[in-house]
Amino acid sequence: MSENSRALKLAEANQKLAHKRRNAKEKWGIVLDTSKCIDCKACTVACKMENYVPVGFYNYRIWVAEDTHYANYPTISRSFQPSQCQQCENPPCVHVCPTHASYKTADGVVMVDADKCILCKYCMTACPYDARYESHTTEAIDKCTFCYQRREEGRDPACVETCPPKVRVFGDLNDPNSEVYKLLAENEYTVLKPGKGTKPKLKYIK
């Protein structure tokens, strides 16, 4: 089986799984402490492997950006900011989609139904985070799914699981016993582009 057909099979399986989990009560999110990030790209590579995102094209579900706060030798300050789809509670990509290909699962994960996608790219324009790409394998717009295929086994998304310093913590934002809930209770945090009103479920510890 080719890499392309594996990618298609995964996309289909995730649609079925989303349907199966239509009564799920969780609200999945990720809390990030980016100060630990060393830009090693374990997350981006793991994501490509897990989700059959092809190499060599300008496509990706997650990324690591560099912030150079100042660089005037010998005074340097730099840090790294890993990111991905913000899994917005109020997702503009879903609102603009004319065919309802983009949708939110019961547990709050924004996904794309490849069958319904007509590649109009409205969603790519609407997304304030540049988190979507055109996939040549599914011939649809694709994006981070929080590795939805791992929900049944309760495993962390590939980026979370593989990260060396554990920059990301994944969990149920509704569950007071979850690590993500506790982290948010104990730390000040922010979201990306709060002014857009998208209510991201990726929370960045300050």
Instruction: Give the binding site for another protein (CB under 8 A).
Output: 1, 6, 35-42, 44-46, 48-50, 55-56, 71-74, 76, 78-80, 158, 161-166
Distance, in Å, from the CA atom of 136 to the CA atom of 26, rounded to the nearest integer, reads 32
Provide the minimum distance between the beta carbon of 84 and another protein in the complex, in angstroms, as a whole number: 15
Q: Which is nearer to another protein, 27 or 150 (CB)?
A: 150
Provide the minimum distance between the beta carbon of 194 and another protein in the complex, in angstroms, as a whole number: 24
Residue with tokens 């569950």: 175
Q: Which is nearer to another protein, 26 or 156 (CB)?
A: 156
Q: Which is nearer to another protein, 88 or 163 (CB)?
A: 163
Q: Which is nearer to another protein, 21 or 41 (CB)?
A: 41
Q: Which is nearer to another protein, 100 or 166 (CB)?
A: 166
Provide the minimum distance between the beta carbon of 6 and another protein in the complex, in angstroms, as a whole number: 8
Provide the minimum distance between the beta carbon of 166 and another protein in the complex, in angstroms, as a whole number: 7
Contact of 29 with 87, CB cutoff 8 Å: yes
- DSSP single-letter state for residue 89: S
Residues sharing a CB contact under 8 Å with residue 119, sequence separation 6 or more, in sequence order: 134, 139, 140, 141
Q: Could you give phi then psi for residue 69, rounded to 5 degrees?
A: -75, -45
Provide the minimum distance between the beta carbon of 44 and another protein in the complex, in angstroms, as a whole number: 6
DSSP characters for 5-74? HHHHHHHHHHHHHHHHTTT----EEEEE-GGG-----HHHHHHHHHTTPPSSSS--SEEEEEEEEEEETT
